[in-house]
Amino acid sequence: MILLITALLLHPVHETIAEIEWNEKTKRFEVAMRLDAIDDQWIRRESKRELPNKAKNENSSDGQATSSDRNPKLLPSLGRRQATRAVTATRKQPNTANGETGNWRLQYVETHFLVTDREIETGEASKVFSQPRYHWLGIEEDRGHVWWYFEIEPAGGKRPDSLVNMMLFEKESDQANRVLLLGTKPSRTFIHTLKSPRHSFESDSQDVESN
Amino acid sequence: MMRNLVQTLFSTSILAILGLSSLNAQPLPNPKHSDSQGDRFYQIDQWLPTPNDQRTASGAPGPEYWQQRADYQISVTLDDDNQRISAVAKIDYHNESPHLLNYIWVQLDQNRFEPDAISATASPAPALAPRVTFDRLKSIFARLTFDGGYKIKSVKDQQGSPLKHTINETMMRIDLPKPMMPGESITFSIEYAYNIIDSNLISGRSGHEFFEKDGNYIYEIAQWFPRVVSYTDYTGWQNKQFIGRGEFTLELGNYDVSITVPEDMVVASTGELANPDQVLKPAWIERLAEARKSTKPMFIVTPEEAKENEGGEQNESDASDNGTGREGKVNTKTWRFMARNVRDFAFAASRKFIWDAMGVKVGDQTVMAMSYYPNEGEPLWSQYSTEAIAHTLEVYGRYSFDYPYPVAISVNGPVYGMEYPMICFNGPRPEDDGTYSKTTKYALISVIIHEVGHNYFPMIVNSDERQWTWMDEGLNTFLQYLSEQEWEENYPSRRGEPEKIVPYMRGGNQRPIMTGSEEILQFGANAYAKPATALNILRETIMGRELFDFAFKEYAVRWKFKRPTPSDFFRTMEDASGVDLDWFWRGWFYSTDHVDLGIEDVNLFVIDQGDPDEAAERKRKEREEKEPSISDQRNEELPKRIDWQPGLKDFYNSADYDEFSVEESARKAYQKMLEELDDSQRSLLQRTTNFYVVKFRNHGGIVMPIIVRLHYADNTNEIVRVPVDIWRSNGDSVSKLFVSEKEIVRMELDPFRETADTESSNNHWPPKLIPSRFKLYKSSSSDNEMRKANKKKEAAEKKAAKEAENASGNESENKDEADASTDTPSNTEASEAAPSSQSSQ
């Protein structure tokens, strides 16, 4: 058994905040997620470093980027320093055919923001990857932050019961991702951390109802 | 006389989600009042420590205020071959307290890198799914095998005799041979060494970064010497271990530090260089003198010189140029720095450093703003770093006090952002090709402002970071925001604007700002953003800039080089402004309530003159304008009995009967009433003023001023600011009267988004449906570019086809009618109109 010791946090300034709502009509989760612009940039860099062949266009016929098949992806490498410096970049940054499209963002959420309908351990997360389809809508800059907008369409139109949010866990061991579940009264809030990456959409003793 | 013209113009259902706040201000519950959370304005004195002679009720330090002091004399050697520090630290500890001390605690922060440190063993598992990278694995193994922590060689008294000491994780207790009396001083020394962490593998507030291509290191050295633990009037010895989040609680003192490094390294450090002639090249000394007078950053070590220095070759002529008098080649140099009245000491060293500097006039002195960075930081660093330092000194100085130190330094290395007296470590760099994104640019400027700003809070206003992170991070983030707004218009500040905190505050799962550092749930939002936003709201909306700026400056000046606690801050802000802010601290700092004020109800009242003729006409008009009921509509065609049995009709069915007719007696009564009024009363009766009674509900818990924009029928509008005191008698619900000669057609709460109101759907009258952020975005960008282009193409093709069709149709008409007009504009217009109308459908 590996003794897992995480690196300590410096000044924890990067967090994500997301709002998620189940649309009964479209049978999709609608997600608006706010990231620090630095994290958005970091994800882009890491996706280019680790996934040089992701230039392949996965756009669907309607022009929106979707992911039809789940391919387990390598998590981007650790190290905040690797995002903020280019010193050790002895290998070239590959150019993706899509340039600044949402594809690398979409690919990232496909492996880091997961809806599931059974109990999982994070080690078995890949089992659920084959199920949902992700639909990318776009981004919006918001003064130092970036909002990502996307939908998750579970297979069979059935609403899963859990959310696993591992955004930026590989970058910050103390990352805390906040998710507000809309459409419930009162609305509920989850905080996803390394210790607790998964939360159930049903009532959960870990969650505290918001006002 | 008043009448309710329209009983209720608008009303919403009350959600009645009236959860209790986590903290009840009153000592006893009060079931006899409808306030769900008690009196929001109840004074919070009982939560604050009792004032005393150390800390007064006004928030100022008292006549008996005391704090300990520790002076350091350290000789340290940086081993570049083994990435190791070895040193001897002599500490003069002064007991300024009125207490007797039997032992002294010393912090050994490097011990957190021992494999079995609490910070390691208490950490949760990292993310290993779905895959883990080689870098991540290397980091995990490094943490397991790294030989971290202090190797204490000796702890001795001034005479050189060993002192008994006990190490508890990141703290060491030194037992004194005899108790230390109030006012006494003691000197002891510690000889030690430790291995410097590789920042590539282990994250920390210091470390080294190795550059493979040239074989050089950048060292950023901090928490590198055993530092005396704070002994305070409110905790005694600060006894919290260094786990990682809660930072440092330190004593002020003077430092004399001699740093021995390889001869060709450049050292940046806390303090002023005491032996420039021994370590600096003459050219550098000359350039420094010039930079002191310069209004723009100047290179002291140029990029080319730094590049050349990376080679590491010893230059014989350089050895003779620096005038050291050393014979032959020397391998090391010792840089001596002196710093007065600082609470910590850090330094950086590298062969790779470019060094630039600029003098900044601050009060009576010139502060040297300096930056140290490798060529990998160019061109970003030379453009922005030193300017950002200068900007910070200028802006922060205005809101607090003049920067008191001789230098302010920013260093680029492996540590992304960390602050020490007079020096900070900052991370962002451009790409390999020298280009950089907008994000990187502003990240650099922001982090430098933030880290240099920390000189003020907590290096000088020496708050207890281990306990209250917000007292330095929150205040500093607030001033950072103000500084950013003075850098350029539309600076992309991540924190400070109230609407930025809304996504965090509208959810649950929070802890208050007043939470111990290690128990905070979302550090950035809780300890940085929320307090910074709260202060911004206090400044812009509650107190106004003049009152706030004065009070804030008063706090900074009062506690300069002293150690304030939260109550000192709260009390000072009220004391210096004359504003009762307990409700604000209660809501924003002590609770997890949020702001959500809503318009619940609007009632319009007008003056009823009492004129029976006017009343009759009004009622007649109301009757005529009233929509018939559904039954009336359907029954209209039904035959009525009195129509075919006229005998059934009587006076009440005749044209002579008018149910709205006015009796003469009523008119006379009215006239009599008028005659009994005086002129002013008669004049009041004639007014056509509108009286709007608007009911507001506090859904979120935090009471705030009510800021409403009233839109009038004549297309004008005005902003009305109702003070927060309106909530004093009831914190859940309040009605406010708006008197206007004009008709109000629309109301809007918090139009400038200044209160961090989390729910905008209840901010409007008439009600306005505000969709979720997602739906808003989706509806505004329903077409992607490709689809838009396709649609445009389709529309153009349809138009062309239509034109062709019409053209062929016209030709056949012309054949039939010899003199037929060829005026086809109408047809053309029709064909042009059709696609657009089709597309609009």
Q: pLDDT tens digit string along B31-88?
A: 777 777 788 898 898 889 999 999 999 999 999 999 999 999 999 999 999 999 999 9
Q: Distance from B509 to chain A by nearest Cα, in Å?
A: 5
Q: What is the mean pLDDT of chain A?
A: 69
Q: Which of residues 73-132 of A touch B (CB under 8 A)?
A: 73-82, 84-90, 111, 121-126, 129
* pLDDT tens-digit series, residues B478-520: 999 999 999 999 999 999 999 999 999 998 889 999 998 888 8
List of chain A residues whose C-beta atoms are within 8 Å of the C-beta of residue B417? 10-11, 13
* pLDDT of the residue at B359: 98
Q: Do B524 and A2 touch (CB under 8 A)?
A: no
Contacts of B682 (CB under 8 A, 6+ apart): B674
Chosen for mutation from B123, B375, B419 (greatest number of chain A CBs closer than 10 Å) is B123
* Overall domain count for chain A: 1
Instruction: Identify which of A4, A32, A40 has the shortest CB distance to residue B774.
Output: A32
Helices (H) then strands (E): counts for chain A: 3, 11
List of chain B residues whose C-beta atoms are within 8 Å of the C-beta of residue A12? 245, 523-524
Q: Do A211 and B19 touch (CB under 8 A)?
A: yes
Q: Do B427 and A64 touch (CB under 8 A)?
A: no
Where are the alpha helices (H) located in chain A, listed in sequence order?
37-50, 81-84, 103-112
In angstroms, the CA B720 to CA A107 distance is 49
Nearest chain B alpha carbon to A77:
B133
Looking at the domain assignment, is residue A175 inside a domain?
Answer: yes
Assess contact for B257 and B274: CB atoms under 8 A: no
* pLDDT tens-digit series, residues B730-747: 999 999 999 999 999 999
Instruction: Identify which of A79, A111, A189 has the shortest CB distance to residue B508.
Output: A189
Looking at the domain assignment, is residue A160 inside a domain?
Answer: yes
List of chain B residues whose C-beta atoms are within 8 Å of the C-beta of residue A4? 123-126, 128, 140
* pLDDT of the residue at A152: 95
List of chain A residues whose C-beta atoms are within 8 Å of the C-beta of residue B126? 4, 6, 169-170, 173, 194
In angstroms, the CA B104 to CA B95 distance is 10
Q: Do B429 and A87 touch (CB under 8 A)?
A: yes
List of chain B residues whose C-beta atoms are within 8 Å of the C-beta of residue A74? 131, 133
In angstroms, the CA B824 to CA B803 distance is 11
List of chain A residues whose C-beta atoms are within 8 Å of the C-beta of residue B245? 9, 12, 174
Distances from the Cα of B193 to the Cα of B76, B88, B120, B226, B673, angstroms: 9, 9, 21, 11, 100
Neighbours of B11 (CB within 10 A): 14
Q: Distance from A43 to chain B by nearest Cα, in Å?
A: 13
Instruction: Identify which of B204, B376, B493 has the shortest CB distance to residue A87.
Output: B376
Nearest CA to B474 out of B563, B400, B535, B417 is that of B535
Instruction: Identify which of B200, B203, B494 has the shortest CB distance to residue A10.
Output: B203
State yes or no: pLDDT of A68 exceeds 60. Answer: no
Q: Do A32 and B777 touch (CB under 8 A)?
A: yes
Sites in chain B below the pLDDT cut of 70: 1-28, 119-136, 243-247, 312-330, 782-788, 791, 809-841
- Encoding tokens for residue B429? 């760099």
* pLDDT of the residue at A35: 95
Please state the length of chain B. 841
Q: Distance from B58 to chain A by nearest Cα, in Å?
A: 33
3-class DSSP state of B77: strand
- Asked if the C-beta of A38 comes within 8 angstroms of chain B's C-beta atoms, the answer is yes
Looking at residue A76, its amino acid is P
Chosen for mutation from B118, B133, B141, B373 (greatest number of chain A CBs closer than 10 Å) is B133
* pLDDT tens-digit series, residues A15-53: 899 999 999 999 999 999 999 999 999 999 888 875 444
In angstroms, the CA B98 to CA B94 distance is 12
List of chain A residues whose C-beta atoms are within 8 Å of the C-beta of residue B508? 186-189, 207-211
Largest CA distance in chain A: 53
0.80 surpassed by pTM: yes
Three-state secondary structure of B313-354: CCCHHHHHHCCCCCCCCCCEEEEEEEEEEECCCCEEEECCCE
* pLDDT of the residue at B16: 32
Chosen for mutation from A2, A3, A6, A11 (greatest number of chain B CBs closer than 10 Å) is A11
Judged by phi (left if over 0) then psi (alpha if -120 to 50, else beta), residue A168 lies in left
Nearest CA to B585 out of B34, B59, B33, B31 is that of B59
Instruction: Identify which of A7, A11, A19 has the shortest CB distance to residue B418.
Output: A11
- Encoding tokens for residue B95? 């007991």
Instruction: Identify which of B130, B139, B510 has the shortest CB distance to residue A125.
Output: B130
Q: Distance from B734 to chain A by nearest Cα, in Å?
A: 19
Domain map of chain B by residue range? 69-316+330-462, 784-805+830-841
Question: Candidates 2.40.110.20, 1.20.120.80, 1.10.10.10, 2.60.40.1730; correct CATH number of B69-316+330-462?
Answer: 2.60.40.1730
Report which secondary-structure segment, H or E, holds B471.
helix B470-485
Q: Do A32 and B204 touch (CB under 8 A)?
A: no
State yes or no: pLDDT of A130 exceeds 60. Answer: no
- Asked if the C-beta of A31 comes within 8 angstroms of chain B's C-beta atoms, the answer is yes
Looking at the domain assignment, is residue A7 inside a domain?
Answer: no
ipTM of the complex: 0.79
- Asked if the C-beta of A32 comes within 8 angstroms of chain B's C-beta atoms, the answer is yes
**Percentage of residues in chain A having pLDDT higher than 70:** 58
Instruction: Identify which of A12, A72, A210 has the shortest CB distance to residue B130.
Output: A72
* pLDDT of the residue at B517: 82
List of chain B residues whose C-beta atoms are within 8 Å of the C-beta of residue A50? 133
Of A115 and A12, the one with more pLDDT = A115
Q: Distance from B567 to chain A by nearest Cα, in Å?
A: 25
* pLDDT of the residue at B523: 85
Q: Is B716 exposed, middle or buried (0-12, 13-18, 19+ CB in 10 A)?
A: exposed
Please state the length of chain A. 211
* pLDDT of the residue at B132: 63
Tell me what the mean pLDDT of segment A1-16 comes to.
45
Domain that holds residue A135: 17-209
